[in-house]
Amino acid sequence: MLKKMLELSQGLTDLGIMSCFVGPFTQEFIAEMGSTLRDAMKENNESSSRVVKVFSVVVELSQNILHYSRELLGGGDEEAPLRMGMLAVGKKGDQYFVLSGNLIASEQREELVTYIDRLNGMDKQELRKLYSQKRREGPGPDSKGAGLGFIEMSRKASGPIECSWHEVDGAHRFFSLKIQV
């Protein structure tokens, strides 16, 4: 087990990952993680614009896990369960990247992938227009947010949103995302 820890650490470093969390997400944790990340980036003399962009993607992805992950921990009569997922931040060359992974229901996969493909095919102007339209319209019935998160991330990203999915069992997929900033 201990040898595995070293391998894991080296493996993450080789990938350029500076920060990686797997476990239950809470709002407090997201705030702390975000704060630490911003401090670290400022120590690295990153521009304030870059810091906000990376922070923004981290918050959107983390809150997606917080609201939508299908992997739950605990929860009883009085308390809502915690939702589980993973989030990592790294840097390769001049690019920061943010990775997230969590379980989704199998039937959500197609809609998500289609939506991401659509956003990836849009230029900045088109994304801005879609953002504006969706913001005015309001959220869909299943959304705890405003349905704007992916558009927001697309606008801040320096390249297309990469996603992949893996079957975990009949009802679930592990859905992962990579966003470069």
Partner 1 sequence: MQDLLIEATKYTPYIHFQAEAHRLELSGESYPEDTISFYRPVFEWLEAYLKTYPEDALRVVMQISYFNSSSSKALFDLFDMLDQSAAEGKAVKVEWRYQADDDIALEYGEDFQMDLESLDFELIELEEETDG
| Contact region with partner 1 (CB under 8 A), list: 8-16, 55-63, 90-98, 105-113 | 55-63
| Contact region with partner 1 (CB under 8 A), list: 9-17, 69-77, 107-115, 139-147 | 139-147
Q: What is the DSSP string of 62-117?
A: HHHHHHH-S-EE---SSSPPEEEEEEEEEEETTEEEEEEEEEEEGGGHHHHHHHHH
| 138 scored as a contact of partner 1 (CB under 8 A) | yes
Q: Which is nearer to partner 1, 63 or 120 (CB)?
A: 63
Longest CA pairwise span in the chain (Å): 53
Residue 91: CB minimum distance to partner 1, A: 19
| 65 scored as a contact of partner 1 (CB under 8 A) | no
**Which H or E element spans position 46?**
none
| 124 scored as a contact of partner 1 (CB under 8 A) | no
| CA 150/CA 100 separation, integer angstroms | 13
| 118 scored as a contact of partner 1 (CB under 8 A) | no
Q: Which is nearer to partner 1, 8 or 72 (CB)?
A: 72
Torsion sign (Cα): 130, 146, 52, 115: negative
Residue 130 C-alpha from the chain's centroid? 20
| 45 scored as a contact of partner 1 (CB under 8 A) | no
Q: What is the CA radius of gyration of the chain?
A: 17
Beta-strand relationship, 162-169 and 172-180? antiparallel
How many of the chain's residues bind partner 1 (CB under 8 A)?
A: 29
Q: Which residues bind partner 1 (CB under 8 A)?
A: 27, 30-31, 35, 47-49, 52-53, 55-56, 59-60, 63, 66, 128, 131-132, 135-136, 138-139, 144-146, 148-149, 151-152
